[in-house]
A and B are shown apart, each in its own frame.
Chain A
């Protein structure tokens, strides 16, 4: 099987994640879609690592995972802080600067 098929899946998952970030309103779902995009990029890294016979790609994917974990921790803490003050987890409600 051609390893490039994994790249197609990766591109599709990335696109779906990008649509989710734009379309959904619940901040937690938006966050999950960002995670989906990061994971899609990771799949590309692993596939290219296999295509090139080089472990550097896997190390990059490992670093991406660490950064994604940091991002989740800080992002969810921000969501909790916003929810505590505004009683809403909707990204549309956080528009204080607009008013």
Chain B
């Protein structure tokens, strides 16, 4: 596949076909990243953009970078993103509602201005010569060429960057480390339950669906006086918006009149 992509890069027309198919797809996927509601969908679209960029690299005689792009970004970074998404879970921040008034029009105006400026600049700018191509620079092979630069001219930045990587790994460990405080014992929990402000939860929280009109986990239990117990439904169901409106289950608002069958 790499060989094929390299050949695509050598000749003009296949590269143009590849570019005009993959380029718009990448832009559409990037736009979709902004517009989809769920963060997981954003991550998938992002992975697609990264893969398209890897193909672009390989087509532009940067085989090493193309492979590194797939391994590092779609392999490691996107997996890390998905992992954190699973860890953090879904909450209200997934929604697309505007919190700062007027932010969206301003952002879009600024983006159109910036993008227009960049594109106009690129359209006006000229190098005064056609592109040289990497055939000469890659004559010994792309990896060999990069290695030669990396371990001669750029050996000091290379060392600095490696120390940065180690520091980042240490920093991540320090930041994500969780100091577990002493877990309360069963006796402590029991004392907390009975000597707390109220004895309402002394016997534990009510289970969902108890005495309710439906028997499901997203239906709040009904207290003896007929009011729904909001605490009986799992908080993560609430955060996901999967809970039904608890007021709809209030017995005082439901007609309990039994119609006689005839």
Contacts and interface: CB of A to CB of B under 8 A. Distances in A.
Contacts of B39: 26, 28-29
Given A3-B131, A59-B154, A84-B178, A90 B92 contact: yes
B149 A56 contact: yes
B-side binding surface: helix, strand, loop or mixed?
helix
A15 B115 contact: yes
Contacts of A15: 111, 114-115, 118
B173 to A, nearest CB: 8
Interface residues of A, number: 75
Interface in A50-98: 50-56, 58-59, 61-63, 65-74, 76-81, 83-84, 87-93
B207 interface: no
Contact of A39 (B50, B114, B135, B167): B50
A74 B108 CA distance: 29
Contacts, number: 231
A2 B76 CA distance: 32
Contact of A46 (B57, B91, B107): B57
Nearest to A15: B115
Given A36-B49, A55-B137, A50 B61 contact: yes
Contacts of B53: 39, 42-43
A80 B88 contact: yes
Contacts of A43: 53, 56-57
A46 B65 contact: yes
A29 B27 contact: no
A88 B93 contact: yes
Contact of B62 (A28, A58, A79): A58
Given A53-B135, A66-B165, A67-B164, 18 more contacts: A1-B13, A22-B103, A22-B110, A28-B39, A28-B43, A32-B81, A39-B49, A46-B60, A46-B65, A50-B61, A53-B134, A55-B134, A58-B64, A58-B65, A65-B68, A73-B168, A79-B88, A91-B93
Interface of B: 12-13, 15-16, 19, 23, 26-27, 30-31, 33-34, 39, 42-43, 46, 49-50, 53, 56-57, 60-62, 64-65, 68-69, 72-73, 76-77, 80-81, 84-85, 87-88, 91-96, 99-100, 103-104, 107-108, 110-111, 114-115, 118-119, 122, 127, 131-138, 142, 145-146, 149-150, 153-154, 157, 161, 164-165, 167-169, 171-173, 175-176, 178
Interface of A: 1-9, 11-20, 22-29, 31-33, 35-36, 39, 42-43, 46-47, 49-56, 58-59, 61-63, 65-74, 76-81, 83-84, 87-93
